[in-house]
């Protein structure tokens, strides 16, 4: 079940681009602040349902606070800044090296080679989706964008790896979300001009994003990496941009491409290689789907 919840987080992240079409007019940090505020509300709602005290202090250590905030806010901050300094194609390709890094982090010494081979296959699968018919043009003027993209990949892979080692409560993500919402609001006031006269479709987009890919998914990811099959989740992480492209194509917002089939094939093969005992585990029902 824990692995399934981790996969569900990846599915929600695959919906990010589609739901994002509802909120294109909202400045990035303003949207991030609103979504993470909804994410914090998920914790309160959970406590209401379970008849728990609403504002019990979190069990987070100083290290968990630091890494949690850096992971959730630092990733998004660096990503948004990277898009200001470099083209989105290059930024996305570099940022999505994080599943490869995570695969290596969670692999054991005996499985590291297969994790590396499987990870590179998954990364090539992502390249088919992100690049499509475009070419990479490495330019000196984009160097800050590239560096920020690399930092993004390191932050999210490091944060995800930390989750596999951390023993804090999953609902503490709500407190981290509140911290991220405040930092995002500060960044919004510093870097952006507010857009608060929202239509009902924009509000709907904000709520769905906060409950899903930019909020609720982080609870599911926390559960998956703490209690699920970490190597499998790391391998399947490559499928997120592919799923996003498939969903956009199904919604008529993106032309269908044979690259999607190629990407899915490479990612599936990579996942099997990185998890060389995967089929045997599934047969013996040792993976908790």
Q: Which of 32-41, 122-131, 280-289 has the highest mean pLDDT?
A: 32-41
Distance CA 237, CA 9 (A): 10
pLDDT digits (tens, 9 = 90+) for 183-216: 999 999 998 888 888 899 999 999 999 999 999 9
- Consecutive H or E run containing 151: helix 143-165
Q: Is the pLDDT of residue 17 over 60?
A: yes
152 close to 98: Cβ distance less than 8 angstroms: yes
pLDDT digits (tens, 9 = 90+) for 107-123: 777 777 887 888 888 88
The domains of the chain are located at 2-284
CA distances from 169 to 25, 43, 137 (A): 35, 11, 44
Average pLDDT, the chain: 84
218 close to 39: Cβ distance less than 8 angstroms: yes
Burial string for 228-246 (b: 16+ CB within 10 Å, else e) reads bbbbbbbbbbbbbbbbbbb
Give residue for tokens 């190597």.
Answer: 231
Residue 265 or 33, more confident:
33
**263 three-class SS:** helix
130 close to 92: Cβ distance less than 8 angstroms: yes
Confidence category of residue 134, pLDDT binned at 50, 70, 90: low
pLDDT of residue 136: 62
Contact residues for 96 (Cβ-Cβ < 8 A; gap 6+): 123, 126, 130, 153, 238, 240, 241
Average pLDDT over residues 74-82: 91
pLDDT of residue 288: 41
pLDDT digits (tens, 9 = 90+) for 217-227: 999 999 999 99
pLDDT digits (tens, 9 = 90+) for 170-183: 888 999 999 999 99
Q: Is the pLDDT of residue 254 over 70?
A: no
Confidence category of residue 245, pLDDT binned at 50, 70, 90: confident
């Amino acid at each position: 079940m824990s692995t399934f919840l981790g996969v569900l987080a990846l599915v929600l992240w695959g919906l990010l681009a589609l739901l994002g079409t509802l909120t294109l007019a909202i400045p990035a940090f303003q949207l991030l602040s609103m979504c993470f505020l909804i994410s914090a509300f998920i914790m309160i709602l959970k406590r209401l349902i379970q008849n728990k005290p609403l504002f019990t202090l979190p069990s987070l250590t100083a290290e968990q606070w630091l890494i949690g905030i850096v992971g959730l806010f630092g990733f998004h901050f660096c990503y948004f800044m990277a898009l200001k300094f470099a083209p989105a194609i290059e930024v996305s390709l570099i940022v999505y090296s994080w599943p490869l890094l995570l695969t290596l982090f969670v692999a054991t010494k005996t499985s590291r080679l297969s994790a590396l081979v499987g990870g590179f296959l998954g990364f090539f699968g992502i390249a088919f989706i992100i690049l499509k018919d475009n070419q990479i043009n490495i330019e000196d003027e984009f160097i800050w964008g590239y560096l920020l993209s690399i930092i993004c990949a390191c932050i999210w892979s490091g944060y995800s790896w930390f989750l596999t080692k951390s023993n804090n409560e999953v609902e503490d993500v709500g407190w981290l979300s509140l911290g991220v919402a405040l930092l995002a609001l500060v960044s919004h006031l510093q870097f952006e001009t507010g857009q608060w006269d929202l239509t009902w479709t924009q509000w709907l987009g904000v709520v769905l994003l906060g409950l899903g890919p930019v909020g609720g998914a982080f609870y599911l990811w926390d559960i998956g990496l703490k209690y699920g099959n970490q190597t499998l989740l790391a391998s399947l992480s490559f499928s997120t941009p592919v799923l996003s492209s498939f969903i956009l194509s199904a919604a008529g917002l993106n032309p269908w491409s044979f690259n999607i089939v190629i990407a899915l094939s490479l990612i599936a093969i990579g996942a099997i290689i990185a998890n060389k005992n995967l089929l045997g585990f599934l047969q013996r029902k040792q993976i908790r789907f």
